[in-house]
Amino acid sequence: MKKYWIAAMAGFLLFSGTASAQAELKVPAAYIAIGDSLAAGQTPEREIDAGYTDMIAQELSRNQPVGFYSKNLAFPGFTTADVLDSIQSDEAKEMLASANLITVSAGANDLLRLVQGDPAQGSLTFQQIQADFALNEARKNMELILAELTELSPNADVYVMGYYFAYPHVRDSQKSGTAKQLDRLNEILERSAEKAGATFVSVDQSFGDDAVDKVPNAADVHPNAAGYQAMANAFFGEYQKTWTVEDFELPPPNPLTFEQIMEAQEQEGDGGQEEEESEAEETALRPSAGSPTGYLALREALPYL
């Protein structure tokens, strides 16, 4: 498992294309993905696999030199408050200082944890007052996150990822209320990005309200590979319009359960003596290759983004 993750990361870092001649590209790219489980690559089966951030890193490596890629700061279940806390750690500050490209997925968990869904009945319910409060908190925290990134990553171009409608399986009569709240969230994220000089990436048009082909599990809000591909391509629509993640370029499925990830991390923690013996070799690895999962930590799996 360790070999897979190191090999996968090395594959993302290989320069396999020609660099774009456009002046706005920063070469080599040092890409950090932060946020919730969409940034982490959680699947509809609540496993971790290649998500939109991995696809972005892979496509970057096909078109320009990539010096660094990490999704160590992406955690399932994170709210905007959690993301703000995570980027203020010493480890995060050191990593973000070298970044010149950052994507942020944060905000949906502030809202979706308030939505009660019944897959059998195809229904959704939430309290409007609670939703209003959650969205206001998301706005304040996102502004703080982007202000913090301006300080921590002064050379980075920051892209704030929008959200799709996560409940395509419910009855049509049940969609409009929750969809309206997600539209409000996207508006907040877009305004916050503009205020901070960041770029907002809209993904909802790629999904619409009926994207059962991209969100296949009626009991889970996470996308499949096609959904993550759509998100990655929405990013490239803002970053480099001629770059696209094609179907034949999708990484082969290789999901890990949360139990496998935690077990691998525990085994990694027990290998201190072996790591000391190979210290010279380890210095050649990127920080994201330091654990078999590419994470600094993983919290308990949550049924949100």
pLDDT of residue 279: 38
pLDDT tens, residue by residue, 183-219: 999 999 999 999 999 999 999 999 999 999 999 999 9
pLDDT of residue 293: 32
**Of 257, 298, 263, 259, nearest in space to 2 by CA:** 263
pLDDT at position 127: 85
- Domains recognised in the chain with CATH numbers: 2-289 (3.40.50.1110)
Distance CA 49, CA 252 (A): 10
The pLDDT, as a whole number, for residue 139 is 98
Tokens of 140: 């304040």
Sort residue 255 into left (φ over 0), alpha (ψ -120 to 50) or beta: beta
pLDDT at 114: 85
Residues of the chain with pLDDT under 70: 1-23, 123, 268-305
pLDDT at 68: 93
**pLDDT of amino acid 192:** 98
Token pair of 29 as six digits: 């790219």
**CA dihedral angle for residue 7, residue 10, residue 16, residue 21, rounded to 10 degrees:** 160
